[in-house]
Amino acid sequence: MFRQKHPLIKIKKTFLLLFALLGLVSVASLYFLLNQPKAPNNIRDLFETPVVTPPKETGCFDAATLNYLEYKSIPQKDRKNNKFGLYIYAENKDFMELAQNLVNSNGGDWGYVLIPYNVKDRDYSKWGGVFERLYSKHLIPIIQLWDVDPDDYEDQTEEAAEFLNSFVWPIRQRYVSVYNEPNDSRFWYGRADPEEYAQILDFTIDTFKEENSNFFMLNGALNVSATPGGGYYDAFDFMRRMDAKVSGIFSKLDGWASHSYPQPDFSGNPHATGRNSIRAYEVELAYLKQALGVEKELPVFITETGWAHAEGEVYNRAFLPVSQVAENIKTAYERYWLPDKRVRAVTPFTVWYDAPYDHFSWVNHDKVPYLHYEEVKSMEKVAGTPESLVPGETSIKSCY
């Protein structure tokens, strides 16, 4: 005689069967999910987990699309250059906006900005933002090195080159000016030394070029109008002693940085010539060629220039009124700098500076432009065509 099974036994078996079915469904679902293609979260995922479409037949297929940036190649004959520029500072975002509105106005594109860089600065966040804004605003940077310690220049130079090379520059050419007015003791730890500067310049050129061949190296512009004494070296004597210390040093340059100021008192005639004029670069180039035997045709970057204006925190009658400064700067561009094919860029000093140097500012303390800013802004400009960054894409193929 058979014993009737207890109802609880039936319920337990029913639950066991349900659990087994649920387990099978879960395994199947997990298998399905794990085998689904997923969208890449970043550029690294394109290599680690590419989007794959299973083929219907044997052969090759596109497994993923890789997006990237590259520098476009522009034939020399098709290149156009917007020479307009301005001296600014990395710490203030408004200055870059003011520069863009000035140099890329009235038909212009890809104008220049000079930006000082302390060779001991390793602030990746700040400088990453700077280079991002340069790209978005179509501004070509000329980075001017400063504050090197002559007793530790090798390590500082190597670290600075590596740091600056870590960023995505907006165009292929990476313009770097190697310090500021080294023939003036005020800018060289109170002891201007042509032999020491020649060695540092030589090492800096080699170091940056080894880091990236796209670095375009400029000298530190000299105070060409300064007379000897009082901490100043005569610019041409300084150059002669540099070349005697490191033979051929100037032939290693890619371009020539010049501070061509209208003297005396930053109030000179725009039509003047010579070392005390806005065309001082002409006599510098002549000295390089005739006295030092430099055969290379160096493009000129006027990294400082401009007239001081009377307007400022305190009105200074020793300088010209801003109306005359506006007229002079317009004449300088139209008559001399723009027609001269040797001149690559002009970055007047400066967007803004504290008193008593506010007489060189292009905007006042409230960032309101002076008349010479508005005059240059209204001038017709060229849409530059440098070898700038452009987006590209490529397919990654998989074969089976």
Per-residue pLDDT tens over the stretch 282-298: 999 999 999 999 999 99
- The alpha carbon of residue 277 and the mean position of all alpha carbons in its chain are separated, in whole angstroms, by 28
Contacts of 198 (CB under 8 A, 6+ apart): 241, 242, 243, 245, 246, 249
Whether residue 101 sits in one domain with residue 14? no
Our CA dihedral for 86, 97, 125, 132, rounded to 10 degrees, sits at -90
Q: What is the pLDDT of residues 138-154, one digit of tens each?
A: 999 999 999 999 999 99
The answer to whether position 325 is within a domain reads: yes
The tens digit of pLDDT for each residue in 52-95 reads 445 555 677 777 888 888 999 999 999 999 999 999 999 999 99
- Higher local confidence (pLDDT), 19 or 121: 121
Same domain, 127 and 209: yes
User: What are the structure tokens assigned to 260, written together?
Assistant: 């061509």
Tens digit of pLDDT for each residue in 151-210? 999 999 999 999 999 999 999 999 999 999 999 999 999 999 999 999 999 999 999 999
Residues 69 and 186 in one domain: no
Residues 93 and 67 occupy one common structural domain: no
**Per-residue confidence (pLDDT) for residue 46, from 0 to 100:** 36
Say yes or no: 1 and 58 in one domain.
Answer: no
| Domain identity same for 86 and 68 | no
Q: pTM for this structure?
A: 0.84
Residue 387 counted as domain residue: no
Which pLDDT value is given to residue 64?
81
Find out whether 221 and 258 touch, Cβ atoms under 8 Å.
Answer: yes
Q: Do 151 and 8 share a domain, yes or no?
A: no
